């Protein structure tokens, strides 16, 4: 295969606020371009056998290489690197951006700039990317492209007068976008003869090939047989295959050289060895320095995950192991709960990440899970000078041993139309927010700046934000640091036994309120037993709230529908099934969803 | 296709129960989720014709059986012309072996049949009536959407007795919307002071089923049901009061005077074989459960082609049924019968479940040979809780 001319490569990504049309535009770009240069056509036919073999591989990162024949008659290779769209994955976003030379900023012609638009565009500019705006959804009746252009120029300071006006949905204006990619996004630099220096921006685990590293070659060349070394983790392996990304397929090629985006496989067994942000170099001819910006991903949100059926513990362990192969930001360690038995304390980037993992465990691995209330990492300064990081409320030391506690604080930016400023400010106050300031944007909208404790926003803050602004508010946050705070551990006692899995950490001022709501909720969730069950909330051994589940008095089916025994049996089966999904604590059976009920204390009936 | 009865008599005939479903009524009650509804006379006639067709068509698979109970249920079977009941009985006699001692029950609602109709039933061979009263309180009847008054019930009951029926059941229902313990007592007393006193009383408590108008009311929060304490009082009152009048509770919701237990219903709990005919009717034959489809149109077109949900019971399923059905009977299940049916000891199969429930005071074992396992008083109240544990 002939060497590819660096000046004909464009590496870019698309940044946007959620729902502004990022994926639709990506689809259109792929559709309007080809997968191969005319020279490569031959090669693909030859590789067909390999493609067969690769069937069934799914690509996590939506990176794709396409070929565009521009108006200047030249063929350009586009490497479109998709970035995860949620604040939870900020670090991944930043690594994807580092693999690009430019970015397309998509802005909704009706909604204009939103919180994530700003966050993402600043992130792109921080990475020295050349950004050009595209105004999408111009076919909407409420579209105001002129206003949005002004907004982009005023707020972000990007030139927007020649921004393509498009409708990705209806395929309008896509040609303009393709031409601007060629014009406005710089070709990559880097010398193919220098020592290898490649940035890992993602990796997936494949059961046949091992870890597949997604990387951008900054300097040098990599090919089959090169012995590579990950500079941060130190892992060393011989390259088995290199290639690039077809649409949904891995297409092997001879080599990847400076400026190119592609994949490397080297029989690596664990994604942990190929951390996102790490630098790949040639073990025999290493580059002088790793690429800047690598950091170990830090989990922000923790919760306990337990198999509903205790016998499935090994299955859960295997499933987490497999998921971690693909998701280096997931971490877990075994823990034991008196109430729930053997399980794992898992760390996530954020609540969305938690939900994704939970859903994957349940769907892909067919596991029934009990998840405890998510919490953050608290720093406990003990009287003996020791500082511990607390991820599981059950491990909280006795209050007498605690000098003081700290909790993580985020700085949040909330974009909202002016009519909802009041209600959003109220929400932030309720969540112990500290008001930092407000900027008006274009008269009708404002950017509110707050500092909020992370533990106040991990449950349902986003939902509350949406409901109090009729869906208009948008939100972005960054971890700022730790601050001292007055925190207590709230314990729940069921039938006078403390249920460790239901304990959580809460600000002292809201302990009473939370305790009361928690007891009410549990009273509804716990079915009646043969005996009466007290439910109590306690802080430091002092009962602050109580409810009672009355004893069961009647559970009888009077009528039996003639000879329709099947119907009767179904009822009994349902009852029995229900019991299976219960956890036995002392002699009380608690339904699994009760453990999650702490999450929904704020929903108003 | 008349078979010489003499030939068959020489074989050992197995007992069989027949259930005939008549899915028509004057108007649907507000709590009813049974397969039933009003229909014009033409539809009713067509249905009855199809039912006769099904009776004939099924007779062959019943060659080795003798019918010893028949139950004509619904709906309100008394809404179809009484002549149809005559034809049904004639068809059964002609195509099936019918035991001379057979219990033949028909359900009816007050106000749907006159004396003449009752005479026809009597002549047709019906020897047991089940009359749906539900309540003696006019307001409660109205709230349930019943079509009759208490006076109409009294008239129908009188007529039935006069015509010569000597085995009559009265259905009553507690836990009705806005019912009080006192009004329930009055309903029970109204039934117990009937002259002559009925032989059998079915005392159900109302279950609000999904898809009924009462359910919708409950969802809207406009349905006022008796609180738990009142309901409990009604419940204990029932057994107490009926006991004073010589009624023995022999099943969770059924009370009878000595010797008048409903054999047909007991057959369901004892897992005797039964064949259901008509739309939606369920059957148990040769350890296989099956049900007719519920579509009326389809039934009219092909009454023999409705069988669906055919389920061959595994031995485990048979055991489960043996337990959760048998425990509905106050005398309980017999370890001997279990042994004969399955060749295993009940106590071995259900060791831990029985221990637990005996310990919780929900189940008891009678002394004597053979031993019976039965629900305690508390166990009756929590019967679903107990029964569900017997599922594998």
| Distance to chain A for B4, nearest Cα, Å | 31
C-alpha B214/C-alpha B229 separation (Å) is 21
Q: Kindly list the domain boundaries of chain B, sorted by start residue.
A: 5-268, 314-392
CB burial of A520-554 (b: ≥16 within 10 Å; e: otherwise) equals ebbbebbbbbeeebebbbbbeeeebbebebeebeb
Contact by Cβ (8 Å): B270, B326: yes
| Distance to chain B for A312, nearest Cα, Å | 20
DSSP string covering A123-136: HHHHTT-EEEEEEE
Indicate yes or no: CB of A572 within 8 angstroms of CB of B384: yes
Residues in chain A with CB shorter than 8 Å from the CB of B207 are 557-559
DSSP three-state, residue B387 = helix
C-alpha A367/C-alpha A103 separation (Å) is 40
Q: pLDDT digits over A349-372, tens only?
A: 877 788 888 888 888 888 988 888
Task: Give the number of residues written for chain A.
Answer: 605
**Residue A559: band (very low, low, confident or very high) from pLDDT cuts 50, 70, 90:** low
Q: pLDDT digits over A566-578, tens only?
A: 888 888 888 887 7
Q: Are strands A241-246 and A102-108 parallel, antiparallel or unpaired?
A: unpaired
Q: Pick from B154, B160, B67: which is nearest to B107 by CA? A: B160
Q: Are strands A130-136 and A102-108 parallel, antiparallel or unpaired?
A: parallel
Indicate yes or no: CB of A569 within 8 angstroms of CB of B391: yes
Per-residue three-class SS string for A445-479: EEEEEEEEEHHHHCCCHHHHHHHHCCCCCEEEEEE
User: What pLDDT sits at residue A58?
Assistant: 31
A422 contact partners, CB below 8 Å, separation of at least 6: none
Helix/strand/coil percentages in chain A, nearest 5:
30, 35, 35
Q: What is the mean pLDDT of residues A254-274?
A: 88
**Residue A86: band (very low, low, confident or very high) from pLDDT cuts 50, 70, 90:** low
Q: How many CB pairs under 8 A join A and B?
A: 88
CB atoms within 10 A of CB A378: 22
Indicate yes or no: CB of B381 within 8 angstroms of CB of A568: no
CB atoms within 10 A of CB A110: 18
User: What pLDDT sits at residue B4?
Assistant: 47
DSSP string covering B319-347: HHHHHHHHTTBTT-EEHHHHHHHHSS-HH
Dmax (CA) for chain A in angstroms is 86
**Residue A125: band (very low, low, confident or very high) from pLDDT cuts 50, 70, 90:** confident
| Distance to chain A for B385, nearest Cα, Å | 6
Asked whether the predicted pLDDT for residue A442 surpasses 60, the reply is: yes
Q: Residues of chain A with pLDDT > 70: what percent?
A: 90
User: What pLDDT sits at residue A248?
Assistant: 64
Indicate yes or no: CB of B382 within 8 angstroms of CB of A555: yes
Dmax (CA) for chain B in angstroms is 63
Helix/strand/coil percentages in chain B, nearest 5:
45, 25, 35
Cis peptide before A306 (omega within 30 of 0): no
User: What pLDDT sits at residue A50?
Assistant: 40
Question: Measured in whole angstroms, how far is the alpha carbon of residue B193 from the centre of its chain?
Answer: 24
C-alpha A376/C-alpha A210 separation (Å) is 33
Q: In the beta sheet, which residues pair with residue A494?
A: A497, A535
Task: Give the number of residues written for chain B.
Answer: 392
C-alpha A299/C-alpha B329 separation (Å) is 60
Asked whether the predicted pLDDT for residue A46 surpasses 50, the reply is: no
C-alpha A56/C-alpha A160 separation (Å) is 42
C-alpha A149/C-alpha A162 separation (Å) is 9
* Mutation target among A553, A558, A561, A578 for the B interface, most CBs of B within 10 A: A558
Q: In the beta sheet, which residues pair with residue A482?
A: A408
Q: Pick from A119, A187, A137: which is nearest to A28 by CA? A: A137
Q: Pick from A502, A458, A515, A491: which is nearest to A595 by CA? A: A502
B284 contact partners, CB below 8 Å, separation of at least 6: A563, A565, B271, B272, B273, B274
Contact by Cβ (8 Å): A417, A123: no
**Residue A169: band (very low, low, confident or very high) from pLDDT cuts 50, 70, 90:** confident
Indicate yes or no: CB of A565 within 8 angstroms of CB of B381: no
Give the highest mean pLDDT range of A69-73, A416-420, A509-513, B243-247. B243-247
Lowest mean pLDDT, pick from A80-94, A369-383, B247-261 = A80-94
* pLDDT averages per 10-residue partition of chain B, 392 residues: 48 91 92 88 96 96 95 94 96 96 96 94 96 95 93 96 96 94 96 96 89 90 89 91 96 94 95 95 94 93 90 94 94 95 94 93 90 93 91 90
User: What pLDDT sits at residue A275?
Assistant: 82
Q: pLDDT digits over A180-200, tens only?
A: 999 999 999 999 999 999 999
Question: Measured in whole angstroms, how far is the alpha carbon of residue B228 from the centre of its chain?
Answer: 26
Burial class (CB in 10 A: 0-12, 13-18, 19+), A172: middle
Q: What fold does the segment set B5-268 form as a domain?
A: TIM Barrel (3.20.20)
Residues in chain B with CB shorter than 8 Å from the CB of A558 are 204-205, 207, 252-253
Instruction: Return the CA Rg of chain A.
Output: 27
Lowest mean pLDDT, pick from A95-109, A112-126, A474-488, B277-291 = A112-126
DSSP three-state, residue A84 = coil
Distances (CA, A) of B223 to A480, B233, B365: 54, 20, 41
The pLDDT mean for chain A works out to 84
Backbone phi, psi, residue B10, to 5°:
-70, -25
User: What pLDDT sits at residue B183?
Assistant: 96
- Using CB atoms, pick whichever of B204, B325, B391 lies closest to residue A558: B204
Q: pLDDT digits over A289-340, tens only?
A: 998 877 777 788 899 999 988 889 999 999 998 888 767 778 899 999 888 8
DSSP three-state, residue B371 = coil
DSSP state of A552: P
Q: What is the mean pLDDT of residues A7-29?
A: 85
| Distance to chain B for A595, nearest Cα, Å | 23
| Distance to chain B for A591, nearest Cα, Å | 16
C-alpha A108/C-alpha A443 separation (Å) is 18
B22 contact partners, CB below 8 Å, separation of at least 6: B47, B48, B51, B72, B73, B74, B75, B76, B77, B79, B80, B278
Indicate yes or no: CB of A576 within 8 angstroms of CB of B388: yes
Q: In the beta sheet, which residues pair with residue A333?
A: A345
Cis peptide before B196 (omega within 30 of 0): yes
C-alpha A308/C-alpha A306 separation (Å) is 6
| Distance to chain B for A317, nearest Cα, Å | 29
Indicate yes or no: CB of A562 within 8 angstroms of CB of B321: no
As for the ipTM of the complex, it is 0.83
A526 contact partners, CB below 8 Å, separation of at least 6: A494, A533, A535, A549, A588, A590, A591, A594
Asked whether the predicted pLDDT for residue A259 surpasses 80, the reply is: yes
User: What pLDDT sits at residue A61?
Assistant: 46
- Using CB atoms, pick whichever of A554, A563, A575 lies closest to residue B276: A563
C-alpha A505/C-alpha B202 separation (Å) is 56
DSSP string covering A164-218: -B-BTTTTBSHHHHHHHHHHHSPPP---TTSPPEEEEEEEEEETTTEEEEEEEEE
Contact by Cβ (8 Å): B168, B131: yes
Q: What fold does the segment set B314-392 form as a domain?
A: Arc Repressor Mutant, subunit A (1.10.10)
Q: Pick from A498, A501, A454: which is nearest to A345 by CA? A: A501
Indicate yes or no: CB of A560 within 8 angstroms of CB of B34: no
User: What pLDDT sits at residue A558?
Assistant: 60
CB atoms within 10 A of CB B162: 11
B217 contact partners, CB below 8 Å, separation of at least 6: B223
Contact by Cβ (8 Å): B271, A569: no
User: What pLDDT sits at residue A457?
Assistant: 86
- Using CB atoms, pick whichever of A555, A565, A571 lies closest to residue B282: A565
Burial class (CB in 10 A: 0-12, 13-18, 19+), A264: buried
């Amino acid at each position: 295969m002939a060497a590819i001319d660096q000046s004909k490569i464009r590496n870019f990504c698309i940044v946007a606020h959620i729902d502004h049309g990022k994926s639709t535009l990506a689809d259109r770009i792929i559709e309007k371009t080809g997968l191969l240069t005319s020279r490569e056509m031959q090669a693909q036919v030859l590789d067909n056998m390999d493609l067969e073999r690769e069937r069934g591989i799914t690509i996590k990162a939506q990176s794709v290489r396409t070929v565009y024949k521009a108006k200047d008659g030249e063929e350009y290779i586009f490497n479109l690197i998709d970035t995860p769209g949620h604040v939870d994955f900020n670090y991944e976003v930043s690594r994807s951006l580092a693999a690009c030379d430019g970015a397309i900023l998509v802005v909704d012609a009706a909604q204009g700039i939103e919180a994530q638009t700003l966050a993402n565009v600043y992130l792109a500019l921080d990475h020295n990317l050349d950004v050009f705006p595209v105004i999408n959804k111009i076919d909407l009746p409420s579209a105001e492209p002129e206003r949005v252009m002004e907004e982009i120029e005023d707020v972000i300071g990007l030139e927007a007068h020649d921004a393509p006006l498009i409708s990705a949905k209806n395929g309008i204006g896509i040609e303009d976008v393709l031409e601007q990619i060629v014009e406005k996004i710089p070709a990559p630099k880097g010398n193919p003869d220098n020592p290898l220096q490649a940035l890992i921006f993602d990796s997936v685990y494949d059961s046949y090939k091992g870890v597949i590293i997604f990387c951008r070659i900054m300097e040098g060349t990599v090919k089959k047989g090169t012995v590579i070394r990950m500079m941060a983790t130190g892992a060393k392996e011989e390259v088995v295959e290199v290639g690039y990304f077809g649409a949904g397929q891995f297409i092997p090629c001879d080599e990847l050289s400076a400026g190119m985006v592609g994949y490397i496989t080297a029989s690596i067994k664990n994604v942990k060895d190929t951390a996102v942000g790490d630098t790949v170099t040639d073990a025999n001819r290493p580059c002088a320095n790793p690429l800047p910006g690598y950091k170990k991903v830090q989990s922000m949100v923790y919760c306990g995950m337990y198999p509903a059926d205790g016998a499935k513990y090994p299955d859960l362990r295997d499933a987490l192991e497999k998921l971690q192969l693909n998701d280096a930001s997931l971490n877990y360690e075994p823990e034991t709960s008196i109430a729930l038995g053997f399980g794992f304390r898992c760390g996530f980037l954020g609540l969305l990440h938690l939900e994704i993992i939970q859903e994957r465990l349940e769907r892909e691995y067919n596991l029934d899970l009990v998840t405890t209330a998510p919490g953050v990492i608290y720093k406990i300064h003990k009287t003996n000078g020791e500082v511990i990081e607390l991820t599981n409320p059950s491990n909280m030391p006795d209050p007498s041993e605690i000098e003081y506690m700290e909790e993580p604080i985020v700085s949040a930016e909330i974009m909202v139309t002016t009519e909802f400023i009041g209600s959003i400010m109220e929400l932030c106050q309720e969540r112990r927010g500290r008001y930092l300031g407000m900027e008006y944007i274009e008269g009708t909208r404002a950017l509110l700046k707050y500092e909020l404790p992370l533990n106040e926003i991990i449950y349902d803050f986003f939902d509350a934000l949406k409901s109090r602004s009729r869906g208009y508010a948008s939100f972005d946050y960054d971890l700022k640091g730790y601050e001292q705070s007055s925190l207590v551990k709230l314990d729940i006692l069921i039938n006078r036994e403390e249920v460790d899995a239901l304990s959580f950490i809460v600000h002292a001022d809201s302990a009473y309120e939370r305790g009361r709501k928690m007891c009410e909720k549990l009273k509804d969730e716990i079915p009646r037993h043969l005996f009466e069950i007290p439910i109590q909330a306690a802080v430091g051994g002092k009962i602050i709230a109580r409810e009672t589940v009355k004893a069961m008095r009647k559970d009888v089916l009077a009528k039996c529908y003639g000879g329709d025994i099947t119907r009767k049996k179904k009822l009994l089966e349902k009852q029995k099934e229900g019991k299976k999904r219960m956890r036995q604590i002392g002699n009380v059976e608690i339904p699994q969803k009760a453990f999650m009920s702490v999450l929904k204390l704020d929903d108003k009936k | 296709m008349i078979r010489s009865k003499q030939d068959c008599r020489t074989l050992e005939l197995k007992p069989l129960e027949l259930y005939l479903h008549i899915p028509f009524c004057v108007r649907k009650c507000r709590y009813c989720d049974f397969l039933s509804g009003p229909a014009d006379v033409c539809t009713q006639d067509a249905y009855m014709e199809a039912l006769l067709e099904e009776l004939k068509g099924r007779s062959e698979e019943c060659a080795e059986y003798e019918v010893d109970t028949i139950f004509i249920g619904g709906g309100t079977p008394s809404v179809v012309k009484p002549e149809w009941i005559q034809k049904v009985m004639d068809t059964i006699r002609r195509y099936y072996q019918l035991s001379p001692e057979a219990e033949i029950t028909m359900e009816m609602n007050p106000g749907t049949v006159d004396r003449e109709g009752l005479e026809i039933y009597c002549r047709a061979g019906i020897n047991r009536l089940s009359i749906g009263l539900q309540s003696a309180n006019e307001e409660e009847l109205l709230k349930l959407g019943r079509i009759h008054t208490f006076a109409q019930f009294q008239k129908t009951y009188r007529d039935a007795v006069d015509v010569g029926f000597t085995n009559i059941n009265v259905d009553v229902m507690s836990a009705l919307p806005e019912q009080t313990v006192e009004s329930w007592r009055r309903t029970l007393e109204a039934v117990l002071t009937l002259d002559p006193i009925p032989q059998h009383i079915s005392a159900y408590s109302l279950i609000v089923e999904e898809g009924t108008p009462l359910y919708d009311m409950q969802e809207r929060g406009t349905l006022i049901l008796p609180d738990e304490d009142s309901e409990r009082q009604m419940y204990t009152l029932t057994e107490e009061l009926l006991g004073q009048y010589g009624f023995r509770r022999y099943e969770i919701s059924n009370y009878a005077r000595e010797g008048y237990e409903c054999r047909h219903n007991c057959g369901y709990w004892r897992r005797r074989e039964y064949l259901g005919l008509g739309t939606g009717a369920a059957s148990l034959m040769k350890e296989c459960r099956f049900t007719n489809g519920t579509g009326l149109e389809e039934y009219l077109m092909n009454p023999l082609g409705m069988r669906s949900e055919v389920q061959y019971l595994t031995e485990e399923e048979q055991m489960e049924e043996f337990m959760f059905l048998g425990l509905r009977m106050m005398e309980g299940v017999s370890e001997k019968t279990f042994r004969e049916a399955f060749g295993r000891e009940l106590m071995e199969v259900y060791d831990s479940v029985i221990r637990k429930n005996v310990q919780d005071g929900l189940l008891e074992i009678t002394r004597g040979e053979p031993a019976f396992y039965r629900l305690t008083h508390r166990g009756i109240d929590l019967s679903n809780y107990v029964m569900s544990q017997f599922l594998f």
